[in-house]
């Protein structure tokens, strides 16, 4: 996403206008991004166009969650945001599956500690790889096929992508669950949570606004 500060700023203004929200109503902005150049542009745009305080989720903010990994600084800010929101909403233990650019599995203990997880290639990345790294396979729309056995190239690719990815998610979620002393709930979020997660037996609930709620929770915890 190669956009300038002004492009982000105008996008923010358009979004507010679309929802009939005036700039004067915005009290602050919480930002979570793991791409440094994009993070800088969004933060600068929020200050310039909305003229308000900006909370960047990262090292030094209060999350209320202990990170029990080998190197807590390596854990992406988006993963902590999801974990905080999921624990606040659903309690623990938890496995949070986020269907984003990468598909991440984030595990939270019964006590509310972030204990680690797994990272897999995203569904779209897998689909793009088939198109860009092969000579004759086309780009196919992302959808759930009716059958596993495809009778043409497009249907075969859709089957392999969709049901293969369902298998990946189910197996990783199952293995993560098995490593808890108490069986955790598995919550899915992200753009493809309904499409893919809806076919996964190991996913117990869908929460499409999990990340947004997490940002709000962290804003409240750091605005005292």
The alpha carbons of the chain give a radius of gyration, in whole angstroms, of 19
The conformation of residue 117, written as its DSSP 8-state character, comes to: E
Q: How many angstroms separate the most distant Cα atoms in the chain?
A: 60
Asked about 201 being catalytic, the answer comes back as no
Cα(114)–Cα(212) distance, integer angstroms: 19
Q: Can you say how many angstroms the Cα of residue 208 is from the centroid of all Cα atoms in its chain?
A: 9
Strands (E), the chain: 28-31, 53-56, 94-99, 102-108, 114-121, 185-190, 205-206
- Encoded tokens for 117: 């997880």
Sheet with 185-190, side-by-side order of all strands: 114-121, 102-108, 94-99, 185-190, 205-206
**Secondary structure letter of residue 69 according to DSSP:** S
Angle between helices 5-18 and 36-45 (to 10 degrees): 60
Determine which one of 2, 6, 70, 78 is catalytic. 78
Residues labelled as active-site residues: 78
């Amino acid at each position: 996403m190669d956009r300038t500060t002004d492009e982000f700023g105008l996008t923010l203004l358009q979004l507010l206008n679309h929802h009939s929200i005036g700039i004067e109503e915005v009290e602050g902005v919480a930002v979570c991004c793991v791409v440094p150049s994009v993070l800088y542009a969004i933060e600068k745009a929020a200050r310039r166009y909305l003229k308000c305080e900006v909370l960047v989720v990262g090292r030094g903010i209060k999350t209320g969650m202990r990170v029990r990994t080998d190197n807590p600084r390596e854990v992406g800010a988006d993963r902590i945001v999801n974990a905080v929101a999921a624990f606040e909403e659903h309690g623990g233990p938890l496995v949070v599956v986020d269907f984003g650019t990468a598909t991440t599995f984030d595990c939270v203990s019964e006590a509310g500690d972030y204990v680690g997880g797994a990272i897999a290639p995203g569904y779209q990345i897998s689909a793009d790889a088939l198109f860009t790294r092969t000579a004759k396979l086309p780009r196919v729309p992302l959808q759930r096929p009716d059958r596993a056995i495809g009778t043409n190239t497009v249907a075969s690719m859709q089957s392999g992508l969709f049901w293969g990815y369902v298998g990946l998610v189910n197996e990783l979620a199952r293995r993560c669950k098995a490593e808890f002393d108490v069986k955790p709930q598995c919550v899915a979020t992200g753009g493809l949570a309904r499409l893919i997660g809806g076919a996964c037996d190991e996913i117990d609930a869908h929460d499409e606004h999990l990340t947004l709620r997490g940002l709000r929770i962290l804003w409240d915890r750091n605005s005292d």
